[in-house]
Amino acid sequence: MKRTTASLLAVLLLAGACDSSGGGSSSSDVPGVTDTEITVGTHMPLTGPAAAGYSKIAPATKAYFDFVNAAGGINGRKITYKVKDDGYNPATTQQVVRELVLQDKVFAILNGLGTPTHSGVLDFLKTNKVPDLFVASGSRSWNQPDKYPGTFGFNPDYTVEGKILGTHVKDTYTGKKICFLGQDDDFGKDSLAGIEKVVGAVAAKQTYVTSNPNVGPQMGALKAAACEVVVLATVPGFTALSIGTAAKIGFKPQFVVSNVGSDPATVGKALGQAAPLLEGVVSANYLPLNTDDSSPWIQLFKKVNDQYNAGAEFDNNIVYGMSVGYLFVQSLQAAGKDLTRDGIIAAVQKNGFQGPGLVPLRFSDKDHSGYGGQQLTKVEGGKAVFIGQAYTTDDGDGAVQPYTGQAVTPPQNGIPTA
């Protein structure tokens, strides 16, 4: 009985094995790289509690790659982007990343999204020597060059953001009661650390988990503590939930929201009829805003979005996704024709990338964190607009300083050169 079943098992697994081994034939030794193709993969919350807004990022990156591929690719190689849904569930991330690395043999993992999700695959990617580029999160974990030499961040880390938001809060709302609601993981903790570095201990702090879509008790506690300013380190769905819940219980503090949870288009959609509640919400960004039609970057990304992303609603997630694509193409160009995993890591460490960002990327051999600062935004008339100027700082005790560097414009054809 057992033997028959066991042989059945063997046949099934072998059939599967043949299926996978027959597919890919590579002419070089580098996984995921042939003379005509580069395969990279990512894990994204296409479904689940963080899907609102974030599910648009990977299609935008893919659209930018299609745009580059249509122009002949990079060094004759076209970019294939494999997007796997992890539902923002760390356990699923484990599975899909193994599948990408072991089965699909991707060259690199690009822009894997989420602090709790991506934290769990760092060791696996390190063991398999897979470049782990431009993680879509601002956790400080990505910046550990000694421990994880192949991992690089993209977002400004949440502590940098917290310090910049904190400085604004301290200067603008002097003497008011400042409180905090954050995700119960490194996202929330790092963010709170940054804020408290500047404003001192907050009057009240609360946490939430994405598996429980109810922030009633938390907002109730903040109301009871008579908070006047509430800083949110939340993903978009929970930004909407927090602001909506506060309004329901007649609690109207000034909201200051982390960049990752602040896209007005995404949050506004989640709030539906209550979208006007967003008016006056303060946040920050480090990429051009989707509504700024005068920016040459926005013009380029809109063009790509119309041609290769079926004209998806153009929000800041699309700007983000395309900026990631642009940076990856820059890295490929810098790594040169003989593309290897070590080569691209060296190229990213060398840095010198100039792109859509308002502030420089911090990459070096000692520093693997992404953008080093942000500029404040405020929602006015349903749109986010920049206020003041961009600031940079570090995740330690360094001062928050104005950044005065000049913005660059994209190349004529929209594709960076080596």
Give the residue among 116, 117, 60, 42 at the shortest CA–CA distance from 317: 60
Measured N-to-C along each axis, helices 57-70 and 316-335 cross at an angle, to the nearest 10 degrees, of: 50
Which residue lies nearer to another protein by CB, 19 or 171? Answer: 19
Which residue lies nearer to another protein by CB, 26 or 207? Answer: 207
CB of 132 to another protein, least distance (A): 15
CB of 66 to another protein, least distance (A): 14
Give the residue among 108, 122, 115, 142 at the shortest CA–CA distance from 370: 142
Which residue lies nearer to another protein by CB, 117 or 393? Answer: 117
Binding stretches for another protein (CB under 8 A): 1-7, 9-10, 12-14, 16-17, 20-21, 46-48, 55, 58-59, 83-85, 87, 89-92, 94, 98-99, 102-103, 115-116, 119-120, 123-124, 127, 184-186, 207, 209-212
CB of 407 to another protein, least distance (A): 33
Phi, psi dihedral angles at 78 (to 5 degrees): -90, 150
Sheet with 204-208: list strands edge to edge: 204-208, 178-183, 229-233, 254-257, 282-285, 373-380, 383-392, 401-402
Which residue lies nearer to another protein by CB, 186 or 315? Answer: 186
Largest CA distance in the chain: 77
Which residue lies nearer to another protein by CB, 207 or 349? Answer: 207
Task: Note whether 132 and 109 are within 8 A (CB).
Answer: yes
Return d(Cα 86, Cα 73) in angstroms, integer. Answer: 28
CA distances from 336 to 30, 232, 267, 331, 417 (A): 14, 42, 40, 9, 10
CB of 111 to another protein, least distance (A): 15
CB of 171 to another protein, least distance (A): 33
Which residue lies nearer to another protein by CB, 120 or 220? Answer: 120
CB of 28 to another protein, least distance (A): 19
Residue keyed to tokens 């990343």 = 97
CA distances from 76 to 64, 79, 328, 371, 400 (A): 16, 10, 16, 30, 43
CB of 6 to another protein, least distance (A): 5
Which residue lies nearer to another protein by CB, 191 or 377? Answer: 191
Which residue lies nearer to another protein by CB, 123 or 365? Answer: 123
Task: Note whether 40 and 68 are within 8 A (CB).
Answer: no
CB of 392 to another protein, least distance (A): 28
CB of 79 to another protein, least distance (A): 18
What tokens does 356 get? 């859509």
CB atoms within 10 A of CB 196: 18
Which residue lies nearer to another protein by CB, 3 or 294? Answer: 3
CB of 348 to another protein, least distance (A): 25
CA dihedral 178, 179, 183, 187 (to 10 degrees): 30
Give the residue among 102, 106, 137, 112 at the shortest CA–CA distance from 37: 106
Dihedral sign, Cα of residue 25, residue 31, residue 33, residue 37? positive
Give the residue among 359, 387, 371, 376 at the shortest CA–CA distance from 284: 376
Which residue lies nearer to another protein by CB, 149 or 360? Answer: 149
